[in-house]
Chain A
Amino acid sequence: MTVYSVIGAGVAGLAVATELVARGAEVQIFDPSGPPGPHGCSWWAGGMLAPWCEYENAEEPVLRLGQEAISWWAQHTEVTHRGTLVVANRRDLPDLRRFSRRTEGFRAVSTEIADLEPELHGFSKGLFFEQEAHLDPRKALMDLYKGLKDNGVPFHKTLAPPQLKHAIDCRGLHARETLHDLRGVKGEMLVIRCPDVTLIRPVRLLHPRMPLYIVPRGDGIYMLGATMIESEDSSRITARSMLELLSAAYALNPAFGEAEVLEIGVDLRPAFPDNLPRIRRLGHTIYANGLYRHGYLLAPALARGVADLALHNTHSEMVDEDRA
């Protein structure tokens, strides 16, 4: 029986392996860094399953393919279905109108904001995307990892041997020596703890330059993200970025001023020029890459596309090159 070798145990690799196993294929995984952890960029993600919101600044496949993600993830990890609330400061209300024109699947809310999130202060207008959901990315990665282990998938904490047949390369930016049109887009995030404030769903604060959001992780812990900078230096966060992230939290509720900063995350998102993921078969290797800021949103569709190509030789829309 053919053994498929998935290289890389980030969200792409684990989702691909999970999909292959679900379809009855035999799989092994290689990742020299070991099980999911801070070495991979999907560790630092927001975990929002928000295709309707993301459509504001993304192309149509993100809206369509992203909608498959919620049910896929619900089969493998805990998904919280509470929607997304989008708000803007009074001076940025034109941005809220713009956001509403570019998206769908929401209803405009005003007094209802206080019912949805009683601790959001000073916001009179917002958009509620009720169908959206979110998950805890680290738990999701570990759940996929454990699920694969339970299914007897061997996990090799080594580099993949060269000349592997039936390899599926999901190494993100590490694959750029082969995928020359891949670039890194810097993202910075914070994890804070603030038991004084209770938010129960992802809240986006519109900002003229970046989509700022806060995602509740439970126990008073929140993830604040994320910058988007066309830079490939992931060594550190800048003071400016940290100011902007913390200001967003402070604007949502001044009590966030008392929050403890638990973690600072900086990493590079792998992205192709149109910021959409790609599947490419070159020789014996299938490359699945370029999830950009949509790791959790588009990994299920990417995994399905890889499985369709590997098992049935069918080309999903993500396949842009096949030189087997």
Chain B
Amino acid sequence: MKQFYGTTLPNPLMLGTAQYPSPAILEQAFRDSGAGVATVSLRREGAGGTGQSFWQMIQSLGVHILPNTAGCHTVKEAVTTAHMAREVFDTKWIKLELIGHTDSLQPDVFQLVEAARILTDDGFQVFPYTTEDLIVAERLLEAGCEVLMPWGAPIGSGRGLNNEYALRAMRAEFPEVPLVVDAGIGLPSHAAHAMELGYDAVLLNTAVARAGDPVAMARAMMKGVEAGRLAYDADPIEARDMAEASTPVIGKAFLS
């Protein structure tokens, strides 16, 4: 398994921590699924306060913490949030999210590259939430990113992989770079799909947190990524147009 900035993850499932019915359910979803990374949204107002119980609870999960800049619309906001995250969680990791469009929550890739460069120069290890555009991906790598996180579909939409062709192309173009499908996953089959394409991990939040039974859905997602990973490593057969019988028919006696 590829390393993420020198860290080997226990498994390919990264879960967000927003929107669960309660912290107790969040905790159980992590425990029962075994997800190895928790993303945490930092809202500016919370950073100065004392006794941030919720963040302490996330830290006590004992998983890798990937703070994010969710909801940031400008480079300045994202950089400020990243600095706060580093202080609160004592980690260089930052999931860089720069929203460019209100309805699709599509990343603003121009600002994304700029912020990635600033943060990398400042010692951060950046996980950029990007589109499937290959040139943007190149620019992000040039800016110092060692991981890429293209979207599957718009955040929270649960549509699965909207552009399988482009995600395949990205995998083929950057065979050595750890790639994570981030956003748009709704079902375990979507998560499996990403892994079958050779992706290294899947990051999702809404599909689990807003499911009727978040704990069960977290477990299902883990089974999805595991199935997809196993299948990818097992070298699946090629799809073809005509049937290919698994036993030869020539020479067999048959009755009419």
**Which of A59, A208, A230, A273 is the most central at the interface, judged by chain B CB atoms within 10 Å of its CB?**
A230
Return the CB mask of A169-190 against B: 1 if under 8 Å, else 0: 0000000000000011000000
Whole-angstrom CA separation of A161 from B54 in the bound complex? 32
Q: A274 and B24: CB pair below 8 A?
A: yes
Give which listed residue, A209, A231, A238, contacts B52 with CB less than 8 A. A231
Residues of B within 8 A of A271 (CB): 22
Residues of A within 8 A of B24 (CB): 272-275
Give which listed residue, B21, B43, B53, contacts A57 with CB less than 8 A. B21
Shortest Cβ distance from residue A236 to the other chain B in the assembled complex, whole angstroms: 8
With contact pairs A273-B23, A273-B57 given, residues A208 and B156 touching in the complex (Cβ less than 8 Å): yes
Whole-angstrom CA separation of A59 from B214 in the bound complex? 12
Shortest Cβ distance from residue B51 to the other chain A in the assembled complex, whole angstroms: 6
Residues of B within 8 A of A102 (CB): 212
Shortest Cβ distance from residue A170 to the other chain B in the assembled complex, whole angstroms: 20
Task: Check B49 for interface membership: any CB of A closer than 8 A.
Answer: yes
Interface size, chain B (Cβ < 8 Å): 21
Q: A230 and B49: CB pair below 8 A?
A: no
- Chain B binding site: helix, strand, loop or mixed by DSSP? loop
In this complex, the interface size class of chain A, counting residues with CB under 8 Å from chain B, is 20 to 34
Whole-angstrom CA separation of A59 from B25 in the bound complex? 10
- Chain A binding site: helix, strand, loop or mixed by DSSP? loop
Return the CB mask of A273-306 against B: 1 if under 8 Å, else 0: 1111000000000000000000000000000000
Q: A232 and B52: CB pair below 8 A?
A: yes
Give which listed residue, B23, B25, B49, B156, contacts A232 with CB less than 8 A. B49
Residues of A within 8 A of B25 (CB): 274
Task: Check B251 for interface membership: any CB of A closer than 8 A.
Answer: no
Q: A58 and B49: CB pair below 8 A?
A: no
Residues of B within 8 A of A274 (CB): 22-25
Interface residues of B in 52-95 (CB under 8 A from A): 52-54, 57
Task: Check A229 for interface membership: any CB of B closer than 8 A.
Answer: yes
Q: A232 and B27: CB pair below 8 A?
A: no
Whole-angstrom CA separation of A184 from B54 in the bound complex? 9
Whole-angstrom CA separation of A184 from B56 in the bound complex? 13
B40 (CB) vs chain A CBs: closest residue: A230
A233 (CB) vs chain B CBs: closest residue: B49
B54 (CB) vs chain A CBs: closest residue: A230
Interface residues of A in 226-278 (CB under 8 A from B): 229-233, 238, 271-276
A236 (CB) vs chain B CBs: closest residue: B45
Q: A275 and B22: CB pair below 8 A?
A: yes
Task: Check B48 for interface membership: any CB of A closer than 8 A.
Answer: yes
Q: B21 and A231: CB pair below 8 A?
A: no
Give which listed residue, A57, A183, A276, contacts B54 with CB less than 8 A. A183
B56 (CB) vs chain A CBs: closest residue: A183
Residues of B within 8 A of A208 (CB): 156
Residues of B within 8 A of A59 (CB): 21-22
Residues of B within 8 A of A184 (CB): 53
Whole-angstrom CA separation of A273 from B210 in the bound complex? 17
Whole-angstrom CA separation of A274 from B46 in the bound complex? 21
Task: Check A101 for interface membership: any CB of B closer than 8 A.
Answer: yes
Residues of A within 8 A of B (CB): 57-59, 98, 101-102, 183-184, 208-209, 229-233, 238, 271-276
Q: List, sorted by A's number, 16 A–B pairs whose CB atoms are closer than 8 Å.
A: A58-B21, A102-B212, A183-B23, A208-B156, A229-B46, A230-B46, A231-B45, A231-B49, A231-B54, A232-B49, A232-B51, A233-B49, A238-B45, A272-B24, A273-B24, A275-B21
Residues of B within 8 A of A (CB): 19, 21-25, 27, 43, 45-46, 48-54, 57, 156, 210, 212
